[in-house]
Structure 1
Amino acid sequence: MYDLSNQIVLGSTQKTIGLIIVILLMAAFAIAVLVNMRKGRAEVGAEIELAANRKPYMDDDELETKKLDRTLGLGLVALAVIGIALPLYWLAEPGRQVGATEQFAEIAISRGEEIYTVGAQCGACHGPEGVGGVANYTITDPSTGDFVAQVQWKAPSLNNVMYRYTPEQVTYTLNYGRGYSPMPAWGAPGGGPLTSQQLEEIIAYLTSIQLPAEETRIEVQAQLDKSCLADANDNCTIPGGSYKTLGEAIFNLGFSDGFAGGAFACARCHTGGWSAGRPGPPGGGGMGPPLYNGAAIRQFPTAALQEAYVSAYPKMGTSYGVNGWSSGRMGSFGTNPNALDPETSIMSPDQVMLTPAQISAVVAYERSL
């Protein structure tokens, strides 16, 4: 991330200088008007005696010496002012532009926060400041439409959404929602009520509330220690615990206690019913493809290929594994897609969901299903 404070100060200084110059010019104009009015005199005779174009003027000697020198001198002063002021103006212009950009971003964040908290009320499901939460959801039979169950659906945290998704991916989800879940379409292309500008403002707000990398790592590790406490061989050591391996604990991270609304859990997409608290077979498939019965091994002949896929999800329309074709819906869990280019990055490279060791552990579990 870049420190813009110096450039913003330059922009503010230039604005102040410009304001002072305008005030001085206005004052000079007012003084000139007053002086001209004071020089005026009451009518003392016929118009022919008062008309400026009829009264005697300077002779040639005075006109071509004192008057000309004075006029040329004033022109030289004006030229000097222009010659100095313009370079100073343009030297400060980059800072002014950066300051304007920063101000624009602050306004977008403020508007996005208002939409998140009041307008669309995203926080009702995703929690205040995107910490994750739950949403009431009615499950119906897909074939008959009959009522099945009323559940508390895990809504993923959004204070790490830019760790794994690009703004374009987030925009797509906001536009069209998530089928078979409480997440509706919010954007106009999907029939929702929000404009494209409002979606951009929401994303600006979400970007501003992303957690620091170290805080995320500490929280994830604390949760894994609580649910697994893995040994050197990635086997869980908690007596009577729900999980046998570190990979299984990561795969289901947040299922029992709602940590981050399941944002770190692979099962949220790859195990049907997981977010509703009614999980089917582990890795049996949901919004994401199934991983059990050797599906992961058939898709990725080696663990290294699968780890690379989980770490940096390929862009939509690109191939992966064996006959795989990216839909662009899955996030990157080991590489931040918003920190690849230092010149355009909006995140830090260390802001990632999982460490390489954690990705290796969860891939090993998926390949064992």
Structure 2
Amino acid sequence: MQDLYLLAIAQKTIGYVIAVLLLIAFVVAIAINVRKGRAEVGSEVELAPNRKPYMNDEELETKKLDRTLGLGLVALGVIALTLPLYWLAEPGRQEGMVERFEDVAISRGEEIYVNGAQCAGCHGPKGIGGVASYTILDPVTGAYVDQVQWKSPALDTIMYRYTPEQVTYILNYGRGYSPMPAWGAPGGGPLTEQQIAEVIAYLTSIQLPAAESQLAVQKELDKTCAADADNNCTIPGGMYKTLGEAVFNLGYSDGFAGGAYSCGRCHTTGWSFGQAKVAGGGAMGPNLTGGSEIRQFPVAAQQEAFVSAYPKMGTAYGTAGWSSGRMGSFGTNPNAQDPKTAIMNPDQVMLTPAQIAAVVAYERSL
């Protein structure tokens, strides 16, 4: 302890000595400069520019003044002409910057989708849908049950039915009891808020044109049902009896769009990995059987409106429903309602009114 005290004293003394030496050097430097600055006026070889005679008053107030005022007037004229031109081009510059900002966001989002988070590994290139290997565990004991290939939904129509806020929630927290983990920081994932926004920007950029989506759905229904005028399927030995049942199970047998257009993906246990249990018996989505839909929606038109445009989270629906915000809108695009803020077109919807009416009729029969 004594040694440390002596060391501290020595360091303090050295500091004082250095400070005094610096102060002395500073005083000496000032003295030398003051002494040099006392040279006799006029002793310099050439007069400094600020001591040379300048123009007389007559010249200053005529030629010099006129020339200076003339140059000032020219400068004012240039400013008066160029500033409005600059202002006129400002909206274009702002639009260009917005476009550049969006392009950069899309590029970064694609990088995350393909290489960073590797979303393409499950959802396919350009979000066309795919499969993911998934281990099913017993929800009570946690024991191994099965290893399955889970249909991963196509994302090239995700903005048809979900708002950016809904997609953000899904990316942040994932989907429980499925291969979809939490990717956002709020859910414990690795992606920041900005990276999630960039992924959504990329997903928005790859949404299918309305005509292409509708054609693909109709082609799939023709293959699995080929409904007649009464919405009864006409394919001999086919899996489905009615158009509504076929719509409910779109993609179950062949993985079309990873089940993105279907209802069974959320409302039927085992649907996503080809081991469907009771149709509409409930999974992530509620049980639709036993007349529950008729009790919730006494009139079919109410249910059709509900499926078409799912109410916002915290909004009442039906006779006793309360929206959780998890379901998408299948007949109305939530991102095309306000022309000022729309990021999609009104015709970019999952199902037609006739298809929605058919699937509602099927659900009400369960």
- TM-score, normalised to structure 2, is 0.87
CA distance in 2, matches of 1:48, 1:87: 53
Corresponding residue of 1:333: 330
Residue 130 of structure 2 is matched in structure 1 by 133
Query: Residue 358 of structure 2 is aligned with which of 338, 356, 361?
Result: 361
Equivalence map 1:3-82=2 (5 Å): 47=44, 50-82=47-79
* Deviations 1:162-199 (CA, angstroms, capped at 9, x unpaired): 00000000000001100000000011111111111110
Name 1:177's counterpart in structure 2.
174
1:95 CA displacement: 1.2
Q: 1:188 maps to what in 2?
A: 185
Deviation digits for residues 71-90 of structure 1 (CA, Å, limit 9, x no counterpart)? 00111111112222222212
1:312 match = 309
Q: Does the CA-based 8 Å contact 1:273-1:280 persist in structure 2?
A: yes
**Paired residue secondary structure (2:91):** helix
Cα separation, 1, equivalents of 2:141 and 2:105: 44
Q: Does 1:233 align with 2:222?
A: no
Whether 1:275 and 2:278 are equivalent positions in the alignment is no
CA deviations on 1:86-130 (whole Å, 9 max, x unpaired) are 222121111111111111111111111010000110011101110
Partner Cα distance (1:273, 1:287) in 2: 11
Residue 324 of structure 1 aligns with an amino acid whose one-letter code is G
Cα distance 1:54–1:146, how it changes in 2: closer, same or farther (>3 A)? closer
The residue identity in structure 2 corresponding to 1:281 is V
Distance across 2 between alignment mates of 1:49 and 1:152: 94
Q: Partner residue of 1:284? A: 281
Structure 1 unaligned regions, length at least 5: 1-44
Q: Distance in 1 between matches of 2:225 and 2:210?
A: 22
Shift of 1:276: 1.6
C-alpha distance after superposition, 1:266-310 (max 9, x if no partner): 000111111021111111011011111101111111100000000
Q: % of aligned pairs identical?
A: 76
SS at match of 2:247: helix
User: The residue matched to 2:221 in structure 1 has which SS?
Assistant: helix
* Equivalent pair of 1:307/1:360 in contact (CA under 8 Å): yes
| SS at 1:135 equivalent | strand
Amino acid at match of 1:262: G
Unaligned runs of 5+ in 2: 1-41
Give the root-mean-square deviation of aligned CA atoms.
1.3
Deviation digits for residues 181-231 of structure 1 (CA, Å, limit 9, x no counterpart): 000001111111111111001000000000000000000000000000011
Q: Which moved more, 1:74-83 or 1:255-264?
A: 74-83
Amino acid aligned to 2:227: A
Equivalent residue letter for 2:360: V
Q: Does 1:151 align with 2:154?
A: no
**Matching residue's letter, 2:267:** H
Distance 2:334 2:122 in 1: 25
How far apart are 1:56 and its partner, in Å?
3.7
Structure-1-length-normalised TM-score: 0.86
Conservation of the 8 A alpha-carbon contact between 1:48 and 1:54: no
**Count of aligned pairs between the two proteins:** 325
- Partner residue of 2:84? 87
Secondary structure class of the residue paired with 2:215: helix
Larger gyration radius, structure 1 or structure 2 = 2
Return 326-335 or 61-70, whichever deviates more.
Answer: 61-70
